[in-house]
A = this chain, B = another copy of it.
Amino acid sequence: MNTKLERTKVFRDPLYGYITVDYKIISDLIDSKELQRLRRIRQLSGVSMVFQTAEHSRFTHSLGAYQMANLILKNVEGIEVLNEYEQILFLCSALLHDIGHGPYSHAFENTIQDSHEDMTIKLILSEQTDVNRILRICPTLACDIAAVISHNGKFPLIEALVSSQLDVDRMDYLSRDAYFTGAAYGHIDYYRILRSMKIVKHKVLIRASGVHSIESYLMSRYHMYFQVYYHPVARAYECILEGIYARLKDMVEANETVDASIEAFLKVVRDNDDVLSYIELDDAYVNGFIKQLTKSEDKILNTLANAFQNRHLFSFVDLNNNPTEETIQEIKNKYNEFTKRYYYKETTVSAVAYLHSKKSDINDIKVLLPNGDVKSLDEYSPIIKSLTQTSYKKVDRIYYFED
């Protein structure tokens, strides 16, 4: 498991200069089918419809999250509390944390009712995957990675570093998405953050002197969420996909024939545990059957597939701009019950989403004072306190498709 490569392997990366690999097991995992598959799934799905250069894949992000773990092992004070097994566990978890993502992820998760974390765990544990075969070199490794991903409490420090308010995942993707979209926000000072961290009793603390870098990181996140991730046009693109998926599901349930090759998709919809079918699904697969659907005999599929292909997007009304009741009624009147199911959507997004998730909230970030005391971040920082207390920014929109 801890076998090293003869010579450090490097991957050029615009964010870190180079990503370095010393362990053979990491190199093997990178070459696995499941990780290579991520080359064919874009990190930001529909966002490239707005920020056209956001074409980077989940593969490059996975390497980035791994590299961030690497940098933590080399730079964070107190991290030596992890022994070599735990260090490798950490590196592997960082590298593999996203392998369960499906194509155009969010629309897809709603369809299969399984989170990408669940799928990641299935892929790691299934004996049918390359990744599992590689991990078997050490009997406990696959299970322990699954434990880390599922946040079951066995390795609390590693869990926190892999997935929390301040983790290798977010630290890589904020910078990376900013770089590839060209957005001016999202540049985070990760080296400063790493130097601010101190591991005390298996907990990640932030020195008071480094709180500024965390404030800045949280503000970058806030801006990336509203400027990039929840951009109305990106969502408009995902609406098309959700419409297609919903129509496909309805037709299958009604035993209607779909005139496109979607076997793997159907298998997964019927059985979440079919990992071999699952890893056949990627953006290319979805693009492939959508292209076939542009000639579908089903009016809805045909329309939405063509809309997807040629960037004919859903329109939307922002409810924060107080549209008249009339305007809204006029939109609703465009559809009957049948078409409304696929052509009309009400969405809500709120900043609260990023401050409180089921696994963690902002107060998980703890500040270490010079005198040794520990405070939660919002007690210490008035900026953060005000962010968590005032009414959150909420986005409510009605999306609708006009033929």
A→B interface (CB under 8 Å) = 10-15, 17-18, 31, 33, 36, 39-40, 48, 51-53, 55-57, 59-60, 63, 179-185, 187-189, 191-192, 195, 212-213, 215-216, 219, 222-223, 226-227, 261, 280, 283-285, 287-288, 291, 309-311, 321-322, 369-371, 382-383, 385-387, 389-393
Contact = CB atoms under 8 A, between A and B. Distances in A.
Interface centre among A57, A321, A382, A392 (most CB of B within 10 A): A382
A371 B383 CA distance: 31
Contact of A291 (B15, B285, B382): B285
Contacts of A184: 187-189, 192, 213, 216
Contact of A309 (B36, B195, B283): B36
A390 B222 CA distance: 19
Copies of the chain in the assembly: 4
B212 A12 contact: no
A211 B216 CA distance: 18
Nearest to A18: B191
A187 B183 CA distance: 11
30 contacts: A11-B52, A12-B51, A12-B52, A13-B53, A17-B182, A17-B191, A31-B310, A36-B309, A39-B48, A39-B52, A39-B55, A40-B287, A52-B60, A53-B60, A180-B180, A184-B189, A185-B189, A187-B187, A212-B223, A219-B219, A261-B261, A283-B284, A285-B288, A321-B369, A322-B371, A382-B390, A382-B392, A385-B390, A386-B386, A386-B389
Nearest to A10: B195
Contacts of A55: 39, 55-57, 60
Given A12-B52, A39-B55, A284-B287, 4 more contacts: A14-B179, A39-B48, A39-B52, A216-B223
A265 to B, nearest CB: 13
A399 B385 CA distance: 30
A14 B48 contact: no
Nearest to A213: B184
Contacts of A11: 52
A164 B46 CA distance: 36
Contacts of A31: 310-311
A63 B52 contact: yes
Contacts of A52: 11-13, 39, 59-60, 63
A63 B48 CA distance: 14
Nearest to A77: B7
